[in-house]
A = this chain, B = another copy of it.
Amino acid sequence: MAKDNEKKQGFVEHITPRDVDFSQWYTDIILKSELVDYSPVRGCMVLRPYGFAIWESIKEQMDKRFKETGHENVYMPMLIPESLLLKEAEHVEGFAPEVAWVTHGGNEKLQERLAIRPTSETIFCAMYSKWVSSWRDLPMKYNQWCSVMRWEKSTRPFLRTSEFLWQEGHTIHATPEEAQEETMQMLEVYREVAEDELAMPVIVGQKSEKEKFAGARATYSMEAMMQDGKALQAGTSHNFGTNFAEAFDIQYLNKEGKLTYVHETSWGTSTRLIGAIIMTHGDERGLKLPPHIAPTQVVIVPIAAHKGGVIEKCNEVFSELKGLDLRVKLDDRDTLSPGFKFNDWELKGVPVRVEVGPRDIENGQCVVFRRDTYEKQTVALADLATVLPELLEDIQQNMFRIAADFRQSRIAEAHNMEELEKVVDGGFAKTMWCGERACEDEIKEKLSASSRNMPFDQTPIGDTCVCCGKKADKVIYFAKAY
């Protein structure tokens, strides 16, 4: 109750500083800005309205691009019979330890256990093998938005929870070339959403054999750098080749009338992206949302709201901005002070605040505050409609630039284990690697860092492996990771 009263009296809720305890800073932000809450179910979180609204924004950006690139949404059953899960050997091995099992329906014990989907390759494959018969049926490019379940030992909201929301694309193609093209196309869609909409620079490239998806021939990822210098894998795109097609017998009659296996891909992003946004952009005042995906882009706060004409003018401004298709909110809560509201919306990361008080109205102006730089400027009310859209775009660009500069300052080359140790203590190391798993294992054990990906630009920065010193021709990033 004490805390509750404090909030009502207008104190700022305390957020642990980033440099004191990054992890506690993260937890403070997600709980205090009411993105999520813990639930009575072990390892499962609740997405509160504000957190879910951010997910809806991201979803809209993704889904639009999926459809533009010819994909269709479907919905597959969430339960997968154990026998189906067992069909592709590597896949089972990867997922079986973290599956939640349904054993009873009503009062009856089931004849076969059912897994709550940890991912849906197997059920998509079962259906594809039923649907495909001729080359005319190809490609099939489907996606689904759903939740998946992975029984995790230790969890953190958005980053690792037993249940999480995601999208999973699953496509089948006639040729290996088409499948590879699809894999690359979707990685590019992910990069575009991350950089252009979430203002989050990413490194795209191929995962090592050790780090690739269970059952894939090749996995590609985008890796973002958080403000503690750790990596966060923000999306993956897999080429399965014919691995699953062979296990599930997905064949088609080609133009020559010959039975042929299809080539398959899958790709996914999840609510993890919200964790990535927080740790890329957040600061001591809380969340900082890129305008393109902020559920509220502009909040209007009346000053001395009881004075004649203030609320009326705020409503006018609200209608005008609404008419521009801006996502705008008028905070007319009458039990809270303007100061409390300022803190509240800064905590929630709203990009722009517009303050309107009696004196402003007299002068035909208002005060505009930008969340990214804390700068205030006075703007004529008549100019708001032109100033705000430009300002929002400027904030979007500025947030990307700041994140890119930060990342640049934390990326360094490492040519031996001593250098590697220094760089991965708060940054990404660009290194040469021989390709042996033993070196990845050794780096993991000694430095707690893992290989992130091999970027597409493979211009060598040396010719010996950072770990074993033998001949190396692979450029690869290592970092500590979420």
A interface with B by C-beta (< 8 Å): 1, 4, 8, 37, 39-41, 44-49, 52-53, 55-56, 72-81, 84, 96-107, 113-114, 116, 123, 126-127, 130-131, 133-134, 136, 142, 146-147, 149, 151, 162-163, 165, 335
Is A134 a contact partner of B4 (Cβ separation < 8 A)?
yes
List the number of copies, as a whole number: 2
A123 surroundings in chain B (CB, below 8 A): 39-41
- A102 to B131 alpha-carbon distance, docked (Å): 31
A102 surroundings in chain B (CB, below 8 A): 100-103, 116
A130 surroundings in chain B (CB, below 8 A): 37
Is A163 a contact partner of B77 (Cβ separation < 8 A)?
yes
Is B72 a contact partner of A47 (Cβ separation < 8 A)?
no
In the complex with contacts A102-B102, A104-B103, A151-B106, A39-B127 CB distance below 8 A: yes
In the complex with contacts A123-B40, A147-B78, A73-B100 CB distance below 8 A: no
A48 surroundings in chain B (CB, below 8 A): 74
A105 surroundings in chain B (CB, below 8 A): 99-101, 151, 162
- A323 to B41 alpha-carbon distance, docked (Å): 48
In the complex with contacts A98-B106, A103-B103, A106-B98, A127-B73 CB distance below 8 A: no
Give the one of A101, A134, A335 with max B CB within 10 A. A101
Selected contact of A72 from candidates B4, B53, B126, B146, CB within 8 Å: B53
Selected contact of A81 from candidates B40, B75, B142, CB within 8 Å: B40
Is A79 a contact partner of B127 (Cβ separation < 8 A)?
no
Is B126 a contact partner of A40 (Cβ separation < 8 A)?
yes
- A116 to B49 alpha-carbon distance, docked (Å): 22
A4 surroundings in chain B (CB, below 8 A): 133-134
Can you list 24 contacts pairing A with B, beta carbon distance less than 8 Å?
A4-B134, A8-B136, A39-B77, A39-B123, A41-B77, A41-B79, A41-B81, A41-B123, A46-B74, A46-B76, A47-B75, A49-B72, A52-B73, A78-B163, A97-B106, A97-B107, A99-B106, A100-B105, A101-B104, A101-B105, A102-B103, A102-B116, A103-B104, A105-B151
Nearest CB in chain B: distance from A252 CB, A: 12
Give the residue name and chain of the B residue nearest to A126 (CB).
B40
A147 surroundings in chain B (CB, below 8 A): 75, 78, 146
A335 surroundings in chain B (CB, below 8 A): 136
Given contact pairs A52-B74, A77-B163, enumerate 20 new A-B contacts (beta carbons under 8 Å).
Answer: A37-B130, A39-B123, A39-B126, A41-B80, A41-B114, A41-B123, A46-B76, A46-B127, A49-B142, A52-B73, A56-B73, A78-B78, A99-B106, A100-B104, A100-B105, A101-B103, A102-B116, A105-B162, A106-B151, A136-B335
Selected contact of A165 from candidates B8, B75, B142, CB within 8 Å: B75
Nearest CB in chain B: distance from A188 CB, A: 23
A56 surroundings in chain B (CB, below 8 A): 73
A127 surroundings in chain B (CB, below 8 A): 37, 39, 46
Give the residue name and chain of the B residue nearest to A164 (CB).
B75
Nearest CB in chain B: distance from A66 CB, A: 12
Give the residue name and chain of the B residue nearest to A108 (CB).
B151
A37 surroundings in chain B (CB, below 8 A): 127, 130-131
- A55 to B75 alpha-carbon distance, docked (Å): 10
Nearest CB in chain B: distance from A169 CB, A: 13
- A131 to B146 alpha-carbon distance, docked (Å): 26
User: Top 10 A-B pairs ranked by shortest CB distance?
Assistant: A44-B77, A49-B72, A105-B151, A47-B75, A101-B104, A41-B77, A106-B151, A103-B103, A39-B77, A100-B102
Give the residue name and chain of the B residue nearest to A97 (CB).
B106
Nearest CB in chain B: distance from A320 CB, A: 20
Give the residue name and chain of the B residue nearest to A41 (CB).
B77
Nearest CB in chain B: distance from A380 CB, A: 32
Selected contact of A49 from candidates B49, B73, B103, B151, CB within 8 Å: B73
Give the residue name and chain of the B residue nearest to A295 (CB).
B72
- A256 to B38 alpha-carbon distance, docked (Å): 31
A39 surroundings in chain B (CB, below 8 A): 76-77, 123, 126-127
- A409 to B123 alpha-carbon distance, docked (Å): 45
- A123 to B38 alpha-carbon distance, docked (Å): 12
Is A75 a contact partner of B97 (Cβ separation < 8 A)?
no
Is A77 a contact partner of B46 (Cβ separation < 8 A)?
yes
A96 surroundings in chain B (CB, below 8 A): 106
Nearest CB in chain B: distance from A239 CB, A: 23
- A55 to B44 alpha-carbon distance, docked (Å): 27
- A291 to B263 alpha-carbon distance, docked (Å): 37
- A162 to B81 alpha-carbon distance, docked (Å): 14
